[in-house]
Amino acid sequence: MQIVNTYQNVADCSLYKSLPQCLGRVAEQIQKYAKDLFEILYAVVTFPCRYIGSKTWSIPGVIMRLPQALYQRIVGRADNKAMKDILFCSKHQSLPARELTREEAKAYVCPLAMAACTHACDEATWANPLGYRIVRPSELQVDSPCIESKTLCFFDRFSGLKMTVMENNDQVVVGIGAVAAYESETPGEKKYHLGMVIWMHIVAGLSLFGGEIAAVQKADKLFSQLVKSPRLQGKKITLVGVCFGGMIAQFLSLKHRIHSYCINCLPMGAGLQWRLGRKALEHAERFVTQVRVTGDYFDSERKVWKIGDAVTSLLGIKVPGNFGHSYLITTPYTTLKTVHERSFGSLMWHLGFDQRTKPNKMDQGTLDSLCRR
């Protein structure tokens, strides 16, 4: 296809008034294709490297640091550091999850409600009662040819990516939809829904095993344009997302250094960690807040994850992981599916409300006590 396009560019030279213009156009195309080919080759050659280096200290890391540590100790250049601090250093180990108190949990009502609004595109239920509204794509003056601008959101039919922008007087929340968030934009398309739920789970699996998926790349391009939109200038921007959307929000947060709330987040695979780089992961606590319902699929406190992470980390293998501060909320739900999907209901129960409570069913006094306007 690329060769055909290049040939077409040569054939179209008659449209230009001079030979230099024609040759310049062809040279640009050749340069573009050479760059694309180089990036593909680079990705193939460096692919194994993305799996090297655990989230915590590792046995290979200790072995490699031992000669330097001994040398520093012998010549007196250890800067008063104990040997164990040199050998077992950990640059970006995630902090242990802590359960939120009821008072602390109030700060998470708005982020979790905006995540629910992103999923359903229902501002009357989730956004308006809290003083937010959905910003229509037509208001943002964003040109993103790979993602369709719908009435209330940006939506890519191929990858299932869905992005919704919400605002109040001084803040903007950019929400990224989870698996099945596409249903609000494709009502009644049962075959499409079945195909997409299978496809997005396959893509999520590829991401966990180190792949770099199209949804993340498209989200990055769109978000880069959104933050430059004149419509949003002067307002604090925050990212929110659940599960698959939370993983994308976490990636964008670390890349663009913008705060995010990632709810029941799908762990970032080695490919996305490699793309971000070590320094971004080291500073995750400054930008990323993980909110997890106790007993969720991806709860890092589950024994299966603890054992697997400990073994792979000791061997120096980089595995999927979430970064930043991590907090837990309790839940009344008992099945894994409902625990994962109904994070807002769990938050309401954690705060002492009925788990079926939604913002549009709360009186003004309750809303004011939960959210600072």
Q: pLDDT band at 120, cuts 50/70/90?
A: very high
201 belongs to a structural domain: yes
Residues 72 and 8 in one domain: no
Token pair 């998926």 in the structure block, residue: 213
pLDDT per residue as tens digits for the range 324-348: 999 999 999 999 999 999 999 999 9
CA 317 to CA 312: how far, in whole Å? Answer: 5
CB 233 within 8 A of CB 345: no
Examine the domain organization and report whether 155 and 35 are in the same domain. Answer: no
Give mean pLDDT, residues 57-86.
64
| Residue 61, domain extent | 53-88
Statement to judge: residues 72 and 141 lie in one domain: no
Please indicate, yes or no, whether residues 78 and 106 belong to a single structural domain of this protein: no
pTM for the model stands at 0.78
| C-alpha atoms less than 13 angstroms from C-alpha of 289 in its C-beta half-sphere | 17
Q: Are residues 19 and 133 in the same domain?
A: no
- Mean pLDDT value across residues 192-202: 90
State how beta strands 148-149 and 154-155 pair. Answer: antiparallel
Residue 178, SS3 per DSSP = coil
Inside any domain, residue 266: yes
Residue 240 has a pLDDT of 97
Residues 24, 124, single domain; the answer is: no
Confidence (pLDDT) at 126: 95
Q: Count of domains in the chain?
A: 3
Residue 3 has pLDDT above 50, yes or no: no
Is residue 268 within 8 Å of residue 323, measured between CB atoms?
yes
- Reading the block at residue 187, the tokens are 């009502």
Q: Is residue 94 part of a domain?
A: no
Residues 6 or more apart whose Cβ sits within 8 Å of residue 93 = 55, 56
- Mean pLDDT over 63-70 rounds to 70
Q: What is the rounded distance in angstroms from the CA atom of residue 57 to the CA atom of residue 316? A: 8
3-state secondary structure of 358: coil
- Same domain for 123 and 144: yes
Say if 319 falls within a structural domain. yes
Q: What is the pLDDT of residue 81?
A: 57
Question: Are residues 237 and 352 both part of a single domain?
Answer: yes
Which CATH number fits the domain that encloses residue 330?
A: 3.40.50
The alpha helices in the chain, defined as continuous H runs, are: 2-11, 19-46, 59-75, 83-87, 102-105, 109-120, 123-126, 137-140, 190-208, 214-226, 244-256, 270-276, 278-282, 284-287, 303-314, 336-341, 343-350, 364-370
Quick one: pLDDT at residue 28? 80
Task: Report the C-alpha gap between 300 and 96 in whole angstroms.
Answer: 9
- Phi, psi (deg, nearest 5) at residue 289: -120, 115
Q: Note whether 287 and 274 are same-domain residues.
A: yes
Question: Ramachandran region of residue 26, left (φ > 0), alpha (ψ -120 to 50) or beta?
Answer: alpha
Cα 24 to its chain centre, rounded Å, is: 39
Q: Are residues 110 and 21 in the same domain?
A: no
Q: Are residues 285 and 262 in the same domain?
A: yes
Residues 19 and 130 in one domain: no
